[in-house]
Amino acid sequence: MKKTLVCSGVAAVLALFTMPAYSAALLIAKATEVAPKSGWAGYDAGTTGGSKATSANIYQVRNKQQLVDAIKNGGDSAKIIQVIGTLDISEGAPYRSVADQKSRSQIPLTANTTLIGTDKNAKIVNGSLVVSKVNNVIIRNLYLETPVDVAPKFESGDGWNAEWDSLTISESEHVWVDHVTFSDGSFTDDQYGKKDGWKYVQHDGMLDIKKGSDYITVSHSHFNQHDKTMLIGHSDSNKSQDAGKLRVTLHNNLFEDVTQRVPRVRFGRVHAYNNLYLGDITRPVYPYLYSFGIGKEGGVLSEKNYFSVNGATDGCELVKSFTGTLFKDSGSVLNNAGMTLSGKCSFSSALPQPPYSYNPVEPGKLPNLVKANAGVGKI
């Protein structure tokens, strides 16, 4: 009798991990929420994701295959996909080449999707989420570990460069990224080797927003331990597709020990308010270089952010021009004092206020407020 019970129990557990991702119970009520109107994702038509999903299009996924099945089964219908535990996109089989990593590591999401972790243990590792040519997507309450490129490309004069981001948003509109933790995790930059005399770089970016994507909000997320963090607008030559778009709101995020590109902007208009930036210019790994990179025809409106950056004394150390000229700050703090730009840098402040309503708190409240609420498990 005992043997029968044990076998039955094992079979039940195995079934959880092998059954198709058919409709299931809603485990987290916040899966039905829509993007708030305090950012670009909530503007115009808004971002509703899968909030209107019928019971037949609510899924629970515990592995890559179930995730792929849920995306396929739901198609472009409103759907809620709930992530339980760790999803290893490599399925335990290391990538062998560029072609292998390209074919197996990317998870393309479809329109009208809410992808949400059920608790603090919801993780996606060894893979990339891709939002491409689709609209109305919500990604919440997940830990995304930066992919490791198994075959970086060597570029003369620049060294080894990696591909694969944790999340790419391309040619898509109305996307809300909320309470997501991005981290290099188990493989940090100090573990890079050398090849042909150059550092063998195996990380690319955490979040790329490009190719005319628009109406994006990134909120209450934690970006931790990374070099090239966030890219908005991928090329100086992509004006025809990007101009007038790439409108992105960043608010209540924690950027901790990230070196640069927070974000790096071309053509887009970024509104960054109530974010917390923690860094150290002298760190041996992930040293702070700058936060806002202003590229070709890009602009950043910064409001009431808090910067705690060891070694920084001037706002010009937080903003770097890559031929861009549009930057304006109002009410931000650098190391417990008002952030000001000295004569070392010069920007035009000709940036309009966004058309949506928002109520930023005073920056002095951000160290406690943002730490308590940013990232996976704090939804």
Point out the residues that are catalytic. 261
**Pairing state of beta strands 194-195 and 198-199?**
antiparallel
Cα 257 from chain centroid? 15
What separation, in Å, do the N-terminal and C-terminal C-alpha atoms of the chain show?
44
Give the helix/strand (H/E) hosting 177: strand 173-183
How far is it, in rounded angstroms, from Cα 182 to Cα 141?
11
User: Which region holds residue 318: left if phi is over 0, alpha if psi is between -120 and 50, else beta?
Assistant: alpha
Q: Which residues contact 376 (CB under 8 A, 6 or more apart)?
A: 117, 120, 122, 123, 141, 142, 143, 179, 180, 181, 222
Per the rule left: phi > 0, alpha: psi between -120 and 50, beta: everything else, 133 is left
Burial class (CB in 10 A: 0-12, 13-18, 19+), 9: exposed
Output 97-104 pairs: Cβ under 8 A, ≥24 positions apart.
97/150, 97/151, 98/150, 98/151, 98/163, 101/147, 101/149, 101/150, 101/151, 101/164
Q: Which two tokens stand for residue 172?
A: 């898509």
Which residue is it, tokens 């129990």? 9
Positive or negative CA dihedral for 60, 63, 69, 72?
positive
Query: How far is 265 from 277, CA to CA, in rounded Å?
Result: 18
What is the CB neighbour count within 10 angstroms for residue 252?
A: 23
Q: For residue 283, which of 258, 300, 317 has the smallest C-alpha distance?
A: 258
3-state secondary structure of 231: strand
* Conformational region of residue 370, where left means phi above 0, alpha means psi within -120 to 50, and beta covers everything else: alpha
CA distance 267 to 251: 20
